[in-house]
Amino acid sequence: MSSPSTNVQQPESFAFSAKNEKAAKEIISRYPEGRQASAIMPLFDLAQRQSGGWLPLVAIENITARLEVPVIRGLEVATFYTMYNMEPVGKYLVQICTTTPCWLRGSDDVVSACKKNLGIDLNETTADGEFTLREVECLGACVNAPVVQIGNEYFEDVDAESAAKILDALRAGKKPKPGSQTGRSTSAPAGPLTSLTEVE
């Protein structure tokens, strides 16, 4: 759970860009009359993307007023879900799953490799503002553990070596290939077939 920090420099105002205003209206139109409050989560996500990866308090106030929702309800939503960042994050938000399936397959080594590569600890951001490192609960790709989410991309079957390579590629301005880092196809077995190896 995250919460607003009193140490963060908050912007004085927020308004959706012309493009995002159009998207916001389309999002709100999906909900029946009287149920527009249900648009709060996608609007928060839209505002966070516009704000460089975090959700300023003025954006919460703007959206809750628009949806006729008390600000405290908006804060309850924003601070409950870890997908919303209540303070600025790096250009690359590196989220490492350490829940049981990932832990059993070596997520501790992935965390250590990322700390070493970036020179920061969990919940810290590099001095250049490029990377923020976080430990998170289940990312929902347990079959391909360990899993690391960076921005909107999932990197699966990650180990210490591949984690470092991913970070190095991002630092160099390259786009590392998401998905399995071992070449496995989707959620197929990690090793070769052990049964049904012949087709009649």
pLDDT tens track of the chain, all 200 residues? 455 555 678 999 999 999 999 999 999 999 999 999 999 999 999 999 999 999 999 999 999 999 999 999 999 999 999 899 999 999 999 999 999 999 999 999 999 999 999 999 999 999 999 999 999 999 999 999 999 999 999 999 999 999 999 999 999 999 999 999 998 888 887 777 788 778 76
Report the alpha-carbon distance of residue 37 to residue 28 in Å, rounded.
8
Do 57 and 117 sit in the same domain of this protein? Answer: no
Residue 171: give its domain's CATH number.
Answer: 3.40.30.10
Instruction: Judge if 72 and 47 occupy the same domain.
Output: yes
Is residue 75 domain-shared with residue 101, that is, in the same domain?
no
Q: Tell whether 135 is covered by a domain.
A: yes
Strand runs labelled E in 9-114: 92-97
Are residue 53 and residue 109 in the same domain, yes or no? no
Indicate the number of domains in the chain: 2
In a domain, 191, yes or no: no
Alpha-carbon separation of residue 194 from 3, 157, 186, 189 (angstroms): 49, 20, 18, 10
Q: Containing domain of residue 129, as a range? A: 92-180
96 shares a domain with 161? yes
pTM exceeding the 0.95 threshold for the entire prediction: no
Q: Are residues 46 and 104 both part of a single domain?
A: no
CATH for 27: 1.10.10
Cα–Cα separations (whole angstroms), residue 34 to 7, 37, 64, 147, 152: 37, 8, 14, 39, 32
Closest CA to 92 of 114, 113, 60: 114
